[in-house]
Amino acid sequence: MRAYKVVFYPHNQTVTVVDGDNLLRTAMEAGVHINASCGGGGVCGKCRVLIESGVVEGGITEKLSAQDLAQGYRLACQSTIRSDLQVRIPVESEVDVSVLNRLATPRKTARIRQVNFEELKEKGLFIPPVEKRYLELPPPSENDRLPDVTRLISFLKAKYNEHRLVVRLPVIRKIPDVLRSNDFKVTATLARPVHEGRKTHIINIEPGDTTNRNFAIAVDIGTTTVYGQLIDLNSGEVLAQHGEFNGQISYGEDVLSRIVFAEKSGGLEKLHQVVIETINKIIRRLVKQTDVVLDEISSITLAGNTTMTQLFLKINPRYIRRAPYVPVSTLFPPIQAATLGLELSDHVTALVYPAVSSYVGGDIVSGVMGAGLYLADEVTLYLDIGTNAEIVIGNKDWFACAACSAGPAFEGGGIKFGMRAAKGGIEDFSIDPVSLEPMIMTIGNVPPKGICGSGLITLVAVLFEMGIIDNRGKFDRDLKTKRIREADGVYEYVLVWAAETQIDRDITLSEVDIDNFIRAKGAIFSGCQTLLEEVGLRIEDIDQIVLAGGFGSYVDLERAMTIGLLPEIDADRITYIGNGSLMGCRMSSLTNRLRKDVVEVTRKMTNFELSETPSYMDHYVAALFLPHTDMSLFPKLKDRLKLRSRHKS
């Protein structure tokens, strides 16, 4: 793709973009404010910019007069960049350009880290758990009366140096006819031992050469959504991915209500059956999207939180929600997938990720494994944020972990106009320091419906850094703008006027919302602090941060530090792995190394119950400020705020 240079005036801010980028989004990510209320939907007509040189596509609407167009004005939200550009932003009031520049913090999201199959191979980590071997056997004769199974095993030994082979009964049943159906030319599917020196199981036999048809399924069993991937075991490639709502949602939104339902008569069986149906639906969809047939799938790996895992395995989770909150087990044995009701061939074994405790489950262990943290020298903070935030700190030698109940703020809960990340969700925000007019980007560039988690972080961060709210999250009552108002005794900021929304109501952010948000981020930050303290470390000892969960991809890292959600650390040392649970499952499909190491890693993971750690409450209370009562934890922010107040005064 061609790269262009875009210069914004009067800020004199230059950024590099690629052909086809949206101009408003480019400005947002460059930290250049353009008034824009409708999230990029082309409705409000406020994001007028003057194209001084270069070419954009689109941006011409009835919101602009013929004269505007003739002069070179375009709507930024509707403009696609097609060359180098010089763009002038009409600054409605006189503002010192230097201020603009100083406040401009370019949006910085975490580097995305992905499984690299070639790297796995290079590192010697590629020990396929399931492999196919093609053999051309001599038929038996008077001088060679090897039994069929012995024949197969002997030639696997001779040709492929395979040892300690055992054959399962269903395969023994198939062998005589399969051997004779294709002139003793067959493909054997081998399931490798996790531990060297253990047995290799011959789990299937097929006529002819099918070695290029070997696939695996990886599944993340989320409380809300279940995701699956279909993986080609020869190339390591993900051939298809599909997500479905967890069918258990009808029986309770969250983990606790599911446990309550499971305790009812028949409840456990129902929840088990429903999640199996969800997974079967996903498997069917994955297969349909590709040319793979069910019988070619050789393995399935799954991970979920402790309750999801127990429900999947039909283990009653009742003691998870009863003091002293013990899960039934950490490790789960491999199990024949078909016996669980999964619509896979009889030879497929389901591997289920082990858990650490009732609230740090297999999904977290899977992420830790998938991200390779357990091999790292660096002290890493692994953070998976949802309703519960799970925190893991450690390196190859040790791990400490904890779950903290962040509440649903990051998923839109407890925020009046909060919503999950979906089309129409406000995901980015900037504000004109003088007019206090907003610049808003929505997911999908459509008129706004609400505020999603990443948008909320930016929103609070910007309002705080611009001094519009104070460190307790309270609005500056002296500011003169109709966007800040009191409603039912609560101050709020109007992000979008009703006319420009999809919901015909003003979309606002109130002090109550901000308060809930601060509690959520405070829970997480203090969780990290407490956990660090328990292992004798401090925030500055963290070498890197890994973010996981659907939440992390769009989070502006600097903003997340500004509000005190993430510890202040060089943004280059933060990576995002997306669905860590799914990533670990995929990795485990590709290499037995993980299957072997995971037992040891799980053992190394020391669980801390934050609610019973005395210092947690102190840390929590101290974290109920923006960014924190102890500003020495955020030295860079402290400097920026000093600069701002110098400018103001």
Contact positions vs a copy of itself (CB under 8 A): 140-142, 144-151, 166-169, 172-173, 175-177, 198, 313-316, 318-319, 323-333, 335, 357, 607, 609, 612
**Cβ–Cβ under 8 Å, residues 623 and 525:** yes
Q: Decide whether 24 or 271 has the Cβ nearer to a copy of itself.
A: 271
How many DSSP H helices and E strands does the chain contain?
17, 30
3-state secondary structure (DSSP) of residue 221: strand
Residues 439 and 548: their CA atoms lie apart, in Å, by 28
Q: Edge-to-edge, what's the strand order for the sheet holding 544-548?
A: 111-112, 574-576, 544-548, 380-385, 388-395, 398-405, 605-607
The total number of residues written for the chain in this structure:
649
Q: Decide whether 334 or 413 has the Cβ nearer to a copy of itself.
A: 334
- Report the b/e string of 249-262 with b at 16+ CB within 10 A: bebbeebeebbebb
Least distance CB 308 / a copy of itself (angstroms): 15
**Cβ–Cβ under 8 Å, residues 187 and 211:** yes
Least distance CB 603 / a copy of itself (angstroms): 10
Q: Decide whether 331 or 487 has the Cβ nearer to a copy of itself.
A: 331
Which residue is it, tokens 């649970």? 581
3-state secondary structure (DSSP) of residue 217: strand
Q: Decide whether 140 or 207 has the Cβ nearer to a copy of itself.
A: 140
Least distance CB 163 / a copy of itself (angstroms): 14
Least distance CB 581 / a copy of itself (angstroms): 20
Q: How many CB atoms lie within 10 A of CB 419?
A: 21
Least distance CB 362 / a copy of itself (angstroms): 13
Query: From start to end of 386-539, where are the E strands?
Result: 388-395, 398-405, 425-431, 438-442, 450-451, 484-487, 490-496, 507-510
Report, in angstroms and rounded to the nearest whole number, the Rg of the chain calculated over CA atoms.
28
Least distance CB 534 / a copy of itself (angstroms): 15
Cα separations in angstroms, 111 against 237, 455, 545, 571: 21, 18, 11, 9
**Cβ–Cβ under 8 Å, residues 263 and 209:** no
Residue 6 structure tokens: 């875009």
Least distance CB 510 / a copy of itself (angstroms): 39
Q: Decide whether 9 or 325 has the Cβ nearer to a copy of itself.
A: 325
Q: What are the two backbone dihedrals, phi and then psi, of residue 516, each rounded to the nearest 5 degrees?
A: -60, -40
Nearest residue to 577 via CA among 547, 609, 613, 537: 547
Q: Decide whether 57 or 263 has the Cβ nearer to a copy of itself.
A: 263
Least distance CB 327 / a copy of itself (angstroms): 5
Q: Decide whether 1 or 323 has the Cβ nearer to a copy of itself.
A: 323
**Cβ–Cβ under 8 Å, residues 3 and 17:** yes
> Burial level of 480, CB count in 10 A (0-12/13-18/19+)?
exposed
Q: Decide whether 279 or 451 has the Cβ nearer to a copy of itself.
A: 279
3-state secondary structure (DSSP) of residue 560: helix
- Assign 3-state DSSP to the chain and report helix, strand, coil percentages, each to 5: 35, 25, 40
Q: Decide whether 562 or 592 has the Cβ nearer to a copy of itself.
A: 592
Least distance CB 358 / a copy of itself (angstroms): 8
Least distance CB 228 / a copy of itself (angstroms): 22
Least distance CB 166 / a copy of itself (angstroms): 6
Q: Decide whether 124 or 324 has the Cβ nearer to a copy of itself.
A: 324
Q: Decide whether 327 or 412 has the Cβ nearer to a copy of itself.
A: 327
Residues 347 and 292: their CA atoms lie apart, in Å, by 17
Q: Decide whether 84 or 609 has the Cβ nearer to a copy of itself.
A: 609
Q: Edge-to-edge, what's the strand order for the sheet holding 73-75?
A: 13-18, 3-9, 85-88, 48-53, 73-75
Least distance CB 303 / a copy of itself (angstroms): 16
Residue 567 structure tokens: 């510890």
Q: Decide whether 238 or 328 has the Cβ nearer to a copy of itself.
A: 328
Q: At what angle do helices 614-622 and 511-534 cross, to 10 degrees?
A: 140
Residues 425 and 565: their CA atoms lie apart, in Å, by 21
Least distance CB 147 / a copy of itself (angstroms): 5
Bridge partners for 391 per DSSP: 383, 402
Least distance CB 264 / a copy of itself (angstroms): 15
Q: Decide whether 77 or 356 has the Cβ nearer to a copy of itself.
A: 356
